[in-house]
Copies of this chain bind each other. A is one copy, B any other.
Amino acid sequence: MYIASTTAPVNIATLKYWGKRDKTLNLPTNSSISVTLSQEDLRTLTSAATSETFSEDQLWLNGKLESLASERTQMCLADLRQLRAELESQDDSLPKFSQWKLHIVSENNFPTAAGLASSAAGFSALVVAIAKLYKLPQSMSEISKIARKGSGSACRSLFGGYVAWEMGVEEDGSDSKAVEVAPLEHWDNMKAVILVVSADKKDTPSTSGMQTTVHTSDLFQWRIKEVVPTRFEEMKKSIVEKNFPVFADLTMKDSNSFHATCLDSFPPIFYLNDTSKKIIKLVHAINEFYKETIAAYTFDAGPNAVIYYESQNESKLFAFLYKLFGKVSGWESKYTTESLTAFTTEFETIKEQLNFAIDEELYKGVSRVILTQAGPGPQDTDLCLISEATGLPK
């Protein structure tokens, strides 16, 4: 039996992926950009094992046996076996992994219930673990094309730091892949607060939502043809130059543009709720208060807010966020009581100068605060979720 394990991160787009030009291959209608988040807070750990003795491909996800039958997963496995088969055909001494069955065991270090897109980390970890098991020589960008077939945004989780998914032009998707815009070390003081917003009920699933937008929104056509291509270049430049105010404005504008095309779909799709909107207004009010753009919100296909900021502005930002969301869980795991008291003190020193009202009830719409930062790509790990004795989950 052969086993390999990896961890893989979550990424949160700052230039949004919304719309597929090919649904089967997950080819997007526009390029996108994301920041990879730290795996200390949000990551998937996946172990993949193969053995001549295994009778079928099996997947255990967070302790439960799950189906591997989905077309998406099958495409990933087929592509990985194909690359392995090419290796085997060049070197007879290699064991015939490409013909053996796989056992895959995967665990997230965060609750799925948080409503955070876990499919990106999940497919990224699955593909990387098997690529490692198969000792595939391909680059991460090459491997990202396989992860993309599993879940579009998963391709961006193959790199740390600042990542672009180039949409490509080829019909077979051979040039639709993730590339590094800048490594984590280039801009390592990027942090993020995730405000997990309580949702009434399930949102429109992103795959069907995208299809509705592509087929019905008039404004969407302009977004993908004119707005995003320009913004893509501007955002890459802002990352290379570490220009936070520009990066922040582009990030907020692109989140709004994406949600605008959802609203322009027919029937319209709503992901932002009243709490989300109040958070948007709050971030604008904070930036105006400091006369400097220190925070940028972005919202995926749901009401949760991700707020990016640079570490040197943390106390300025948290003077407000801890005041507003201090009652919500998530702060204690990251900060000492002393630090938290310092945020409160900072708020006290500025509250006289406030030119906007603090909504004391806003925290009620938020169920959890996740405090994190930019992080690296998939990591090797000594952890292993599969028993070498049985080939089953430990």
**Which residues of A come within 8 Å of B, CB atoms?**
217-219, 221-223, 226-227, 249, 252-253, 256-257, 259-261, 263-268, 270, 273-274, 277, 280-281, 284
The complex places the Cα of A266 from the Cα of B253 at a distance, in Å, of 7
Given contacts A218-B226, A226-B218, A261-B219, contact A256 B268 (CB under 8 A): yes
In the complex the two chains form, what is the Cα distance from A218 to B281 in whole Å?
20
Report which of B221, B257, B270 forms a contact with A264, defined as CB distance below 8 A.
B257
Do residues A266 and B249 form an inter-chain contact, with CB atoms below 8 A?
yes
Chain B neighbourhood of A259, CB < 8 A: 263
A268→B298 CA distance, assembly (Å): 13
Contact A277 B281 (CB under 8 A): no
- List B contacts of A252 (CB < 8 A): 266
A281-B267 CB under 8 A given contacts A274-B273, A274-B274: yes
12 contacts between A and B (CB under 8 A): A218-B226, A218-B257, A219-B222, A219-B260, A249-B266, A252-B266, A253-B266, A257-B264, A259-B263, A267-B280, A267-B284, A274-B274
A219 to chain B, nearest CB (A): 4
- Output the nearest chain B residue to A225 by Cβ-Cβ distance: B222
- Chain B nearest CB from A210 CB (Å) reads 16
Cα-based distance from A214 to B274 in the complex (angstroms): 24
User: Do A219 and B257 touch (CB < 8 A)?
Assistant: yes
Residue among A263, A265, A266 with the highest chain B CB neighbour number at 10 A: A263
Bound CA–CA A268/B280 (angstroms): 8
For residue A266, which residues in chain B have a CB less than 8 angstroms away from its CB?
A: 249, 252-253, 256
Set B222, B249, B263: member contacting A218, Cβ < 8 A: B222
Apart from the given pairs A217-B260, A267-B280, 16 other A-B contacts in the complex at a CB distance below 8 Å: A218-B253, A219-B219, A219-B222, A219-B257, A219-B260, A222-B226, A249-B266, A252-B266, A256-B263, A256-B266, A260-B261, A260-B263, A267-B281, A267-B284, A270-B277, A273-B274
Residues of B within 8 A of A217 (CB): 260
Cβ of A277: which chain B residues have Cβ within 8 Å of it? 270
Q: List residues of chain B with CB within 8 A of the CB of A218.
A: 222-223, 226-227, 253, 257
A250 to chain B, nearest CB (A): 10
Query: How far is A253 from B227 in the complex, measured between Cα atoms in Å?
Result: 21
Interface centre among A227, A249, A284 (most CB of B within 10 A): A227
